Each structure stands twice: as C-alpha cells, then as structure tokens.
Chains A and B, each alone.
Chain A
Amino acid sequence: MIKNNKASTMYLLIVFILLYAPIAYLIYYSFNAGGTMNQFTGFTWEHYQSLASDTRLITIALDTLRVALLSALAATIIGTLGAIGIYYAKLRRTQTILLSLNNILLVSPDVIIGASFLLLFTLVGFRLGFYSVLLSHIAFSIPIVVLMVLPRLEEMNTNMLTAARDLGASQLQVLKEIILPSITPGILAGFFMAFTYSIDDFAVTFFVTGNGFATLSVEIYSRARQGVSLEINALSTLLFLVAMGIVVGYYFIQKQQRQRKKTAQIDPTNHEKAVTP
C-alpha cells in the first residue's frame, strides 16, 4: 500500500481543522463571560447555570427525547415487519416496487416531506402538535429501519427455516425463534438510526408542529433568529458531548460485532472460548 506523504497528511489535517473549528468556536464561547460570540472577556459557568434553570428548554429537551424514543420504537416495529413482508414477497418485481416505494422518503428533500405531511394532516383534520410530530417522525424513520433489517434477512440461513418448519414449528414460532434472533443486530441498528433521525430533524418538524409544541431543533432555530445567546452555546456543548458518546459507543459495538463475526467465520465449530485466552 502506498502511504501518505507529508503534504497529504497536512491536507487531511486542514480539512479536519476546518470541520471542527465552528464546533470548537461554539464550545469556547459557551464559557465567555462577555455575552457575545466574538470577544472573550473571561471564564464563566453562568450560561450553563442559566441553562439548568431554563425550565422551558428542559421541557422541550424531554419532549424531544420522548418523541425520539417513541418514534424510533414504533418505526422499528413497523419497519422490521415490513422488511419481513418484502423478504417474503413472492415475485422479484413486487420486491423491487416495494423497495422503490420504501426509498422515496429517504431521497426526498425535507421540505417536500414536511409540506406534503402538512397537507395530509390538514386534509384529515388532524390537530398539529405532539401527535402530528410523532406520526411524521415514525413515517420518515420507517424506511431506514427496513434498509437496516433487509440485508440481515437476506443473509439468513434458509435451511434453518426449512428445518424448523419440518420439525413442526408454526409460522409465529419460526418468526420468534429463528428469524428475529438472526436479524437482531439489524433491528438494533435500525432503532439507533431512527432515533438519531428523529433527534436531528428540523425541517419536517418545523412544518407539522403547529404552535403549541416544539422540539430542540425548532427551539434553537427560533432563538437563533433572534440573535446570539450564549445559552445556545452551552446547550450545543452538551449536545456535542452526547453525540460524541453515542458515536463512539456505536463504533465500538460495531467493531466488536465485526470481530465476533470474524471468529465465527474462522472457527465454525464455536470453539471460541478454548481458542481465545
């Protein structure tokens, strides 16, 4: 393999700095006693304290978490069952059509999703608020769950299914004892993706939220429109730490899974414990 020379490593470093500079800037000024984002006058925890006593913001943060957990859960259930439906579709053509329909929301711009959901809710006379946001989040998270689960289904050993049926297992038993255990990693990944989609969404929520309900993204938007407030900086520091934690955790889980898979491939008889010290 050809290794990088100094210049190319430099280039990578510059891209790295460019990508992180704005985030570092935000975090740095969250400790600014001066109250602006350009003159650092002294260190303070003041903005974190005001964050901790901002009950409106805390309520909104909890609401955001509630929507994310509930929508991810619902999307994971519906999406997993949908993926099983696609997997069992008899005709190749039906599968392709279902998958294309599935992917429409993944490639559509957020504004289109938001505007068309708004049309839908208005037509049915659904009141905008918590439930319209929750339904929208479920709706745009389902396709990613399907995409995470489907490859696992296709990797599944079909002999196991036939064997189970031969031994007299019912459909539900096959589902519970064979299919679900072998696609669990896909389901977990789907849940995780759905959760982060929901937390990060701004545009769709902005369209369907109405007046009474807000998520963190919507609240940050309306505060940012009013100008700089270092409380947002403090909030972004906390959110950055949370995001870091989640990603690093996910990275290690994946790494572990990859390693486990490798050992399984090398040693099909499952002597793992004897081999590894």
Chain B
Amino acid sequence: MLKQRKALSVPYYLWIALFVIAPVFLLLYQSFQNIDGSFSLANIQTYFTSTVYLTMTLQSFLYAFVITVVALLISYPAAYFLTRAKNKQLWLLVLILPTWINILLKTYAFIGILSQTGAVNQFFEFIGLGTQPLLFTRLGFIIVATYIEIPFMLLPIFNAIDEIDDSMVFASRDLGANEWDTFRSVIFPMSMSGVRSGVQAVFIPSLSLFMLTRLIAGNRVVTLGTAIEQHFLVTQNWGMGSTMGIVLIIIMFVVMFLTGKRRKGGQRG
C-alpha cells in the first residue's frame, strides 16, 4: 500500500530529474564544448580573457545595481506609507496589479511614451527643455526596467513592515523617541528582511531582461541575458552561451547568499 502512494509521486521525481537536474548539467556540459562539439576549455578561457565579455558582465552588473537601488528608493517609502494607510490591503492590491499585465505590453507602452514625439518629450518641450533622446538609450532602459521591478520590491518590504508589532512602535514613542527615531532604530532594522528579499527579487531578473534591452535600448545595452539569448538564438554559439549561463547562475547564488536569511543573534539577552 505504501508502494501505491510512492508511485503517485513518480511523475514529480521524474520532473526533478529531467527538468531540474538534467538542464543544469547540460548547461555545464555544453560550456565545455567548443563550436565543433569536442571537449575544450576554450569557452571559459575566452570568457575570462576577453575584455568584451568581462566589460559586458560588469556593465550588466552595474545596470542591475542601479535598477535595484532606484527601485528600492522609490518602493521603500511607498511600502512604509502603505502600511499606515486606510484600506491598506486594497491599496496594496492596486499597486501590485500592474505585475499581472504582460511585461511586453508594458514595455511596448514605453516605446510610445519615450519616443521623439512621445509624452515625455512633449512635456520637456512644453517646459522648455527641448526634445531629449530617451528611446534607445541607457537611461531609457533603466527607466523601463525600474518601472517593471518596483512592485516586486514593494511587496516584500510591505510585508516585513506590516509584520512589525504595533506595540514596538508605541513602546518606542512612549520612551520618548520621535517619529524619525522610531523609524530609524525600530522600523528600519526590523524591515531589513523585506529589503533583502526585495533586492533578491529585483536584482537577478534585472541581469537577464533581454526583451527590454532589445525593444527599449536598441543594441545600446547588452546585459548577460541579452548576450545569452544572442548566443543561443542568433549566432548559435551554444558553448559560449552556456558559459555565460553558468556565470549568471553563479552570480545568482552569490546574490542569494548575500541576501539570504541571516541568523538573528542577540535578540534575547
């Protein structure tokens, strides 16, 4: 009878073997192959000696960093105010609803908004700044990527702040701290877990948003994701693509390690 139950989970274990473990090994295996299919370390060597690949990785990293920081700066106050709003659940729903809209449609909207004669430039014209190039620039990419990532940053921070017990805040106020002090030494430290998950949720996708770079940044911005897509689907150099995939996976683990759950020490004396 136990066997019956075990048999039911077999498809799930098959899934783990075929679609979780095998792909990672395939990626590793492929990165040790040169373009005509024999074993070599050429890809890894090329990657680490070519300034093109290394600058691209560094730039991709910087873009992701800027996007994460801007998204954090906009989302944190929003999340904080949200926890104190009337009808906060409804507000939250409204603010994260845009994530339910297809990412390509949101990106497509910016093709219109940021174009030479689009809304933003019409506004610049109106206040006398003149037309600025926005579409197909790096700034454009950062704007659109930040826009897309804000709700993913907002949600975990909101949850973290919302979980803080009100009595903590009242205690701090009773003990004479003003609102800013309370925020700085009670709310902010206690919301760090949310900030960490937010950073994790934004940083990793920002490294790999290839459709954004194609549609918004023309070919100005090449992120790791763009390069991988290029190598797999355009130039058909799967070995090099896989090598970059492995690099992306390693970066992902580093980010997860840095933003992962820390042991909370010293909370109880």
Q: Which residues of A contact B (CB under 8 A)?
A: 1-4, 8-9, 11-12, 15-16, 18-23, 25-26, 29, 36-39, 77-79, 81-82, 84-85, 88, 98, 101-102, 104-105, 107-120, 123, 139, 142, 146, 170-172, 175, 196, 199-200, 202-203, 206-207, 216-217, 220-221, 224-225, 227-228, 232, 235-236, 239-240, 243-244, 246-247, 251
Given known contacts A2-B179, A225-B214, A247-B97, A119 and B81 CB-to-CB distance under 8 angstroms: no
Q: Is the CB of A85 within 8 A of B225?
A: no
Query: Which residues of A have CB within 8 Å of B207?
Result: 109
Q: Is the CB of B101 within 8 A of A2?
A: no
Q: Is the CB of A111 within 8 A of B248?
A: yes
Q: Is the CB of A123 within 8 A of B26?
A: yes
**Which of A8, A23, A78, A227 makes the CB contact (< 8 A) with B98?**
A23
Q: Is the CB of A9 within 8 A of B104?
A: no
Q: Which residues of B contact A (CB under 8 A)?
A: 1-2, 4-6, 8-9, 11-13, 15-16, 18-24, 26-27, 30, 74, 77-78, 81-82, 84-86, 91, 93-95, 97-98, 100-113, 115, 117-119, 122, 147, 150-151, 166, 169, 179, 204-205, 207-208, 210-211, 214-215, 224-225, 228-229, 232-233, 238, 241-242, 245, 248-249, 252, 256
Q: Is the CB of B109 within 8 A of A107?
A: no
Scoring B81, B224, B242 by chain A CB atoms within 10 A of each residue's CB, the highest score goes to B81
Given known contacts A9-B85, A247-B97, A84 and B238 CB-to-CB distance under 8 angstroms: no
14 new A-B contacts, CB < 8 A, other than A81-B12, A109-B248, are A3-B84, A12-B81, A77-B11, A88-B5, A111-B208, A111-B245, A112-B249, A116-B27, A117-B19, A139-B15, A139-B18, A203-B211, A206-B211, A228-B111
Q: Is the CB of A82 within 8 A of B108?
A: no
Chain B residue at minimum C-beta to C-beta distance from A19: B98
Given known contacts A81-B8, A196-B100, A217-B102, A117 and B211 CB-to-CB distance under 8 angstroms: no
Chain A residue at minimum C-beta to C-beta distance from B116: A38
Q: Can you offer 8 A-B residue contacts whose CB atoms are under 8 A?
A: A18-B147, A82-B15, A88-B5, A107-B256, A116-B245, A119-B23, A224-B111, A236-B102
**Which of A9, A38, A139, A239 makes the CB contact (< 8 A) with B101?**
A239
Chain A residue at minimum C-beta to C-beta distance from B229: A111
In Å, the complex CA distance between A234 and B22 comes to 41
**Which of B20, B84, B119 makes the CB contact (< 8 A) with A105?**
B20
In Å, the complex CA distance between A244 and B205 comes to 24
Scoring A4, A116, A240 by chain B CB atoms within 10 A of each residue's CB, the highest score goes to A116
Query: Which residues of A have CB within 8 Å of B18?
Result: 120, 139
Q: Is the CB of A8 within 8 A of B112?
A: no
Given known contacts A19-B150, A196-B100, A251-B93, A115 and B108 CB-to-CB distance under 8 angstroms: no
**Which of A16, A120, A220 makes the CB contact (< 8 A) with B95?**
A16
Q: Is the CB of B26 within 8 A of A119?
A: yes
Query: Which residues of A have CB within 8 Å of B93?
Result: 247, 251
Query: Which residues of A have CB within 8 Å of B204?
Result: 107, 109
Chain B residue at minimum C-beta to C-beta distance from A119: B26
Query: Which residues of A have CB within 8 Å of B95?
Result: 15-16, 19
**Which of B82, B150, B169 makes the CB contact (< 8 A) with A2?**
B169
Given known contacts A2-B169, A111-B225, A170-B1, A84 and B8 CB-to-CB distance under 8 angstroms: yes
**Which of B100, B113, B119 makes the CB contact (< 8 A) with A246?**
B100
Q: Is the CB of A116 within 8 A of B26?
A: yes
In Å, the complex CA distance between A31 and B206 comes to 33
Query: Which residues of A have CB within 8 Å of B16?
Result: 98, 101-102
Q: Is the CB of A26 within 8 A of B109?
A: yes
Given known contacts A11-B81, A37-B112, A108-B252, A171 and B104 CB-to-CB distance under 8 angstroms: no
In Å, the complex CA distance between A21 and B117 comes to 17
CB distance from B201 to the nearest CB of A (A): 9
CB distance from A245 to the nearest CB of B (A): 10
Query: Which residues of B have CB within 8 Å of A104?
Result: 20, 24
Q: Is the CB of B12 within 8 A of A232?
A: no
Query: Which residues of A have CB within 8 Å of B30?
Result: 119
In Å, the complex CA distance between A188 and B34 comes to 46
In Å, the complex CA distance between A206 and B103 comes to 14
Query: Which residues of B have CB within 8 Å of A123?
Result: 26
**Which of A85, A108, A111, A139 makes the CB contact (< 8 A) with B8?**
A85
